[in-house]
Amino acid sequence: MSAAPALRLSGLCKSFGNAVILKGVELTIAKGERHAIIGPNGAGKSTLFDVISARLPASSGSVALNGEDVSGLGPLAIHRRGLSRSFQITNIFPSLTVFDNLRCSVLWSLGYRYSFWNRLARLRDARERAGEVLEQIGLQRRRETLAGVLSYAEQRALEIGITIAGGASVLLLDEPTSGMSRSESDEAVALIRKVTAGKTLVMVEHDMSVVFGLADRISVLVYGQILATGTPAEIRASAVVQEAYLGKSFTHA
């Protein structure tokens, strides 16, 4: 392991025509850190994730993954270098079974590339790895169910399963608990804690109890810029943050 940070964003900008969404984001996330990004609606959180994961090209600035500059690479190249992301709006393979959703997601990391001479059923390592993830996300009983007919919470769990299956070291989770009930959300937090152990986690989240329960450090993104970065206690205490975003009621959260 090198000493390079897992993720370093320098002067990251993104604009759509005249609309400037990201205005020079600077952020360094250490290996093994659990980092949450919070901010009001429209602050550019999802756009930030899209730019880091190359779903959208950056207008300027750079992204370094484990010390390597990955600016300008496509999403699959970045995934192959060890960064995997989930989506705010569930993004799975609806007509494949739950197990096949996971098995497809482990194939590249196991080196099977585009093989059309191996039989899937014979690939023991793929089956075992997919089975492990299936157990981690608690969907063993839904193994042969088509992903499209799962309940919402189950689909969210599968979304996380697909994201972690390839064994990426840096995980970006975009609002993993959005739309969940309190108890579902608690389960999701336990799941995230479990599956991200030993990895670097960056997440966008609106639910403050999730954020303060999970994150080692928090960054506040307002109008496309990082307003503050710090430990949960520091963020809670920060006058700037409270004024700009959190409001008074927040101190009781």
Partner 1 sequence: MSFVLSLLSRIGIMTIFALSYNMLLGQTGLLSFGHAVYFGLGSFATLHLLNALVAHGLPVSITLLPLFGGLAGLAFGLLFGFFTTRRAGTTFAMISLGIGEMVASSSLMFPAFFGGEGGITGNRVTGRGLFGIDYGTPLQMYCLIAAWAALCLLLTYGLTQTPLGRLANAVRDNPERVEFIGYSPHSIRYRMVALAGFFAGIAGGLSALQYEIVTAEALSDHLSGLVILMAFVGGTGTFYGPLIGAALVTVLQVAVASVTPAWPFYFGLVFLLIVLYAPGGIAGLLVQHKAVWQAGLLRRLLPAYLVAALPGAAVLLGTVAVVEMAYARGPERGDARLHLLFLPLDARSAVSWVLAAAAIAAGILLLKIASKQVAERWESVHAALAEAPR
Do 228 and 219 form a contact (C-beta atoms < 8 A)? yes
Q: How far is the CB of 28 from partner 1 (least distance, A)?
A: 24
Q: Is residue 176 at the binding interface for partner 1, with CB under 8 A as the rule?
A: no
Please select the residue that binds partner 1; options are 36, 165, 188, 211, rule is CB under 8 A: 165
Whole-angstrom distance, CA of residue 133 vs CA of residue 82: 17
**CA pair distance 131, 52, nearest whole angstrom:** 29
Rounded to the nearest whole angstrom, what is the least distance from the CB of residue 87 to partner 1 in the complex?
Answer: 8
Nearest distance from C-beta of residue 209 to partner 1, angstroms:
28
- One residue of 5, 39, 161, 166 binding partner 1 per CB under 8 A: 166
Q: Is there a contact between 15 and 21 (Cβ–Cβ < 8 Å)?
A: yes
Q: Is 246 in the site for partner 1 (CB under 8 A)?
A: no
Interactions with partner 1, residue window 118-137 (CB under 8 A): 118-121, 123
The 3-class SS string of 89-138 reads CCCCCCCCEHHHHHHHHHHCCCCCCCCCCCCHHHCHHHHHHHHHHHHHCC
Among 23, 71, 100, 184, binds partner 1 (CB under 8 A): 100
Question: Smallest gap, in angstroms, from Cβ of residue 204 to partner 1?
Answer: 16
Residue 80 within binding range of partner 1, rule CB under 8 A: yes
Contact 40, 46 (CB under 8 A): no
Contact between residue 78 and residue 65 where contact means Cβ atoms under 8 Å apart: yes
Residue 104 binds partner 1, judged by CB under 8 A: yes
By CB under 8 A, name the binding residues for partner 1. Answer: 53, 55, 74-76, 79-80, 84-85, 87, 91-96, 100, 103-105, 107-109, 112-121, 123, 162-163, 165-166
